[in-house]
Amino acid sequence: MKAYVRQYLFLVLGGLMIVTGIAYSVIDFIRHNPFKDRIPLEAPGISQLALEPGRYGIFHEYSSREYDLGALEVTTTNGQATDWQLEGLAIHIGKNGSGVPVRMKPDTGTTFSVNGKKAQSLYRMTVNEGGVYDVEVETPENAPIRLSLVRDLDGRLLKDLKLAGYAVAGSVPLLLAGWFFYSREERRKRPAFARKRRKGR
């Protein structure tokens, strides 16, 4: 029994470490899903938001299968959005008090769906200094649209992937030790089995 436990113990421990690390990463991402914690923006209008340093994305949300984009227009190919026209939409973000603007870059490479709502990314930006920021949104003819600010998804995914990677890396010594003991026990069993066969003859 001791030999059996010694043969498989480290392999089991290494496997458990990998499974636990991956499970923890998945649970952590679900609990801190940036899409669920997104911040709605008044559009058109002015909002004051308390932002922490980090990367953010600005998304346009819509609810139906059709692209009810309000002030925006979308070019579709086979029902999929391929080009978002942003003419007439203006977003200004600056530090409250100082008015220092936050630079935004167009980014339409991310989509998501939460609670029946779909969303398409419009811009990405980096907040270097935490504090209160003024967000002003202008739309053609003041047409209402739904915009939201989402904390960096790529950073969240990278963090959880790192956690899973640490678990895999930490399991390597256990797996190597387990393979060593497993191989040694298997080598011990083979001569004994061969001797039994020779005695039976």
Question: Cβ(85)–Cβ(72) under 8 Å?
Answer: yes
Strand pairing report for 117-127 and 54-62 = antiparallel
Query: Can you give the pTM of this predicted structure?
Result: 0.57
How do the domains of the chain map onto residue ranges? 2-28+159-200, 36-151
Question: Cβ(60)–Cβ(150) under 8 Å?
Answer: no
The alpha carbon torsion through 48, 50, 53, 55 (nearest 10 deg) reads: -50
Cα separation, 68 vs 91, whole angstroms: 20
Which pLDDT belongs to residue 174? 79
Which pLDDT belongs to residue 68? 45
Neighbours of 135 (CB within 10 A): 22
Which pLDDT belongs to residue 133? 94
Query: Which parts of the chain register pLDDT below 70?
Result: 1-7, 29, 32-35, 63-87, 114-116, 153-156, 190-201
Architecture of domain 36-151: Sandwich (2.60)
Which pLDDT belongs to residue 75? 40
Which pLDDT belongs to residue 89? 81
Angle of helix 2-31 relative to helix 153-200, nearest 10 degrees, comes to 160
